[in-house]
Amino acid sequence: MKKLIGFVVLLFFIPLFHIQAYAKTSFTDITPSHDSWEEIQYLIERGVINGFPDGSFRPNQPVKRIQAITMLGRALNWDTTNVKAPNVKDVEKGTEAYGYIAVAVEKGIIANSTAFNPHGTLTRAQMAKMLANAFQLPKGESRNFKDVSSKHWAKTFIDQLASSGITTGYPDNTFKPENPTTRLQFSLFLARALNPEFRESSTEDHSKAVHLSEVIEYNDRLYTWCDNEWDETKMCSMNLDGSDHQIIPLPTGSLAVWNGKFYINTFDNKIVSVNSDGTGLKTIVEAKNIPEKMDPIYLSDVIITEDWIYFSVSSNHPYEGAIYKVKHDGTKLTKVHNKPNLDLTYANGELWFHEEYADGWLTKINISSGKKTSFGIHGVQFMIDDGWVYFVERSDTGDFPLYRMKLDGSNKQLIVADVNPNSDIYVKDGTVYYVKGWYHETPTLYKNSPDGKKEQKLASFDSDIHIYGIWKNHMYLLTDHGEYKIIDLTTLSVKNLVLHQYIKPEITTPNPLVERLKSIVSEPYEVVVKEGYPEILLNGQQAINVAYVEETSEVWLNMYDTSEETLKLAIDILQSYDSSIDENAIMETMKTCIAEAASQNYETESFSLIAMPPVDETDPVDLLIVAKLKQ
């Protein structure tokens, strides 16, 4: 009788969740700013849940089995009249919950057991089975959660939930199937099952995405990386003709602009966001935090969408790889696909890629449903434009025909019978660009109509080419010989482009560094300004180049002459910054470096110096001095 009394109390409490079904409800422990507020209100408005009498929602409390079946029955409006009585003995007949159990048994959602265990918790695996059966979710792609083996009794149900966008699992790629389902989790899963708009990625604007690239156009300027005068890699921008290089305060790497903010896949394997002036730098994800047993781990093919950032993960092993997604704030790191891939691309709510490795099968995954489609196309490269996928396929005869087809795989059309697979194809504004002829056959760039009937020769090259983009009717490309070029698509003129240019620091007049050097240097030395930076000449020949890096308080000296007098002049320059520098000690450090052709270090409390020999015999610099001022 004690057990029945407890059950009566529980049944009395469940209807309290059902009152005020269409009123906006507030809770003491979940506010409108909570990420799940909309889903909870959605269930309240449908009369599925409300809250506890004390005004709380208790999101982290495990959901009881009796509560879960009641919420499910209300959500699906199950008719409990004229339903066969179940075998259950521990739930009172005639109650709301008893009726829903009867329907669930009849529908095959739960077993017709004598014990329902109404007070027991619902594990996440049990929850997956309940929802997958209740909503008749389609068969899902295997998601390979680390803690759900292929033999786990609930794997099929868990895959159905994950593929339908109802759950993504935990950031460490686990599902935790034996953990109890919390009230918040069950509410979220139920809301997503009822309304696809709540499902993961379902609210994303599938028409909008940007892909990170080595070179981009933004506000009529090119953005890419450049080497400064000390061979340090910096980000820079320039006019579309390659003039007016300017170093910009951004991390180095491939980049894109989304809503006025730069997203960068940095050279040290991070994905970051940053304002154009270098402020607001935020690390979204970095390789070391990816839950994969690869070493090393590389991040690539980064795609920015409204809700998610998608990217490929790979290593030095061609058979290791995956696709991940992460929110813009760095949360919800989730594995999307568990196989190696190349050329990850986004279009119309789908991820496209070559699965496995180079020349793999052309494959796509629907972001909302998780459905994977492989087209049986042994692809080499592809590009998507205006509802069509353009692709180069390796044929059995050894040719590489260029085709296009609709995004659903229909209406496959031949454009060109054979193209150079090592050069890029490119599609823009209804025009297809491709190269015919291999490197020993004078590779030639063509453009054509999508039906292949209006082929026009544009330019020939002495190597394969890689196309970065077309901006202002000019094509920007790189040859395999490392030459950057611009093609005017109107006149077909071709110009060389110095893209990753050797940047020399801008010198303004008057300049403190120039004035400092002029106050130190005397005949036979002289200070000149060449191409905007100061040099010290000896009898008209280059002797020392000097730079002061304000951000790091470093003095850099490129020594092209290492005679005794020039070494003394170098010390005079250093002492102009710190008079306490020991002349004899510095002289000995420099001479030892020259004699032994090995780097030498010298350090005091206020000053540190490293002297480095030339890199090799071709290096025009005989001695490089880097001095750091600590005060």
Q: Is the pLDDT confidence value at 395 over 90?
A: no
Q: Is the pLDDT confidence value at 71 over 80?
A: yes
How high is the pLDDT of residue 33? 65
Domains of the chain: 2-122+180-198 (no CATH), 209-421 (2.120.10.30), 509-629 (no CATH)
Q: Which tens digit of pLDDT belongs to each residue from 485-544?
A: 999 988 999 988 877 665 554 545 457 888 889 899 988 999 988 756 788 998 888 899
- Of 56-60, 153-157, 166-170, the range with the lowest mean pLDDT is 166-170
Q: Is the pLDDT confidence value at 623 over 50?
A: yes
Q: What is the mean pLDDT of residues 77-103?
A: 91
More confident residue, 29 or 87: 87
How high is the pLDDT of residue 319? 82
How high is the pLDDT of residue 24? 52
Tell me how far CA of residue 539 lies from CA of 101, 522, 551, 557, in angstroms.
99, 12, 33, 19
180, 186 Cβ separation under 8 angstroms: no
Q: Which tens digit of pLDDT belongs to each residue from 351-366?
A: 999 887 655 789 999 8
Q: Is the pLDDT confidence value at 229 over 60?
A: no
Q: Which of 108, 51, 103 is nearest to 77 (CA)?
A: 103
How high is the pLDDT of residue 541? 87
The span from the CA of 443 to the CA of 420, in Å, is 8
428, 489 Cβ separation under 8 angstroms: no
Q: Which of 45, 32, 40 is nearest to 59 (CA)?
A: 40
How high is the pLDDT of residue 501? 63
How high is the pLDDT of residue 29? 83
How high is the pLDDT of residue 532? 60
Query: Taking all residues of the chain, what is their mean pLDDT, rounded to a whole number?
Result: 85
Q: Which tens digit of pLDDT belongs to each residue from 325-384?
A: 999 999 999 999 988 888 999 988 899 998 876 557 899 998 888 888 989 888 789 999
